[in-house]
Amino acid sequence: MLAYRDGEGAAFELLYVRWRGPLYRYFLRQCGHAGQADELFQDVFMRVIGASAGYEPTARFTTWLFRIAHNRLIDHWRKLGREPVDPLASNENGEDGEFDPPAPEDAAPERQAERRQLGVALLAALNELPEVQREAFLLAEEGGLTLEEIATISGVGRETIKSRLRYATAKLRHKLESWR
């Protein structure tokens, strides 16, 4: 990013090739709609390009990139009148709340029957995750971010992110049990 800021166009291409897929999938899994994902993806990279002149490496580029993406996604949801709901209400000590029950069984089997692939089932299960858990999962999988980085991006504590990830994994496993 510093090289791109200093006028090296090839540096941006490297960044873009590296992060185009993860960022696009982050939006696609969060929105569930390719058109919205396209719009958000393009908007984030335009913001990256616009901010390149004043870019200072205060954090990893990945953290910076996904923080922009997270903020953009929050704006998108607000625009749609939605608020990302955390089903795990953290208590005062920051400990995890009660385990969220699995998504309704009626929708999952239909999708599972349609796709017949474990991967597709996983993606479907991911889509059924609560937004904050899905986001934590996607930031970890697509961005390769650490718990601390995800916590920084999401604006919550590290333990909260840890809980979200644990519950997300458990739910996905649970969803995939019927396909094994």
Partner 1 sequence: MSEIDPKLSRLYREASSVGPPAALDAAILAAAGKQIAKPRRRERSAWLRWMAPASAIATLALGVSIALLVEREQPGTIDETAVRPAPPQLQGAPPARATESTKPKAADSATPAATGKKEAPAAVAPAPVPAVPAQVPLLAAPAPLPHPAASMPSAPPAAEAFPAERRAKAIAPGAAEPKAAESGIAAPKADQSKRVRASNVTGDSALGAAGAAAPPAPAAAGKLAPLRQQAIQRSPEAWLDEISRLKREGREKEAAEQLAEFRKAYPAYAVPESLLSK
Q: Is 127 in the site for partner 1 (CB under 8 A)?
A: no
User: Which CB, 71 or 146, lies closer to partner 1?
Assistant: 146
**To the nearest whole angstrom, how small is the minimum distance from the Cβ of residue 157 to partner 1?**
14
Question: Contacting partner 1 (CB under 8 A), which of 31, 45, 67, 152?
Answer: 45
**To the nearest whole angstrom, how small is the minimum distance from the Cβ of residue 42 to partner 1?**
6
Per DSSP, the residues of the chain read -HHHHTT-HHHHHHHHHHHHHHHHHHHHHHH--HHHHHHHHHHHHHHHHHTGGG---SS-HHHHHHHHHHHHHHHHHHHTT-----SS---TTS---SPPPPPPTTHHHHHHHHH--HHHHHHHHHHHS-HHHHHHHHHHHTS---HHHHHHHHTS-HHHHHHHHHHHHHHHHHHHHTT-
Q: Is 134 in the site for partner 1 (CB under 8 A)?
A: no
Stretch that binds partner 1, among 72-80, 85-93, 98-106, 122-130 (CB under 8 A): 122-130
Interface residue list for partner 1 (CB under 8 A): 4, 7-9, 12-13, 16, 20-21, 24-25, 28-29, 37-38, 41-42, 45-46, 49-50, 52-53, 117-120, 122-123, 126, 137, 140-141, 146-147, 162, 165-166, 169, 172-173, 176
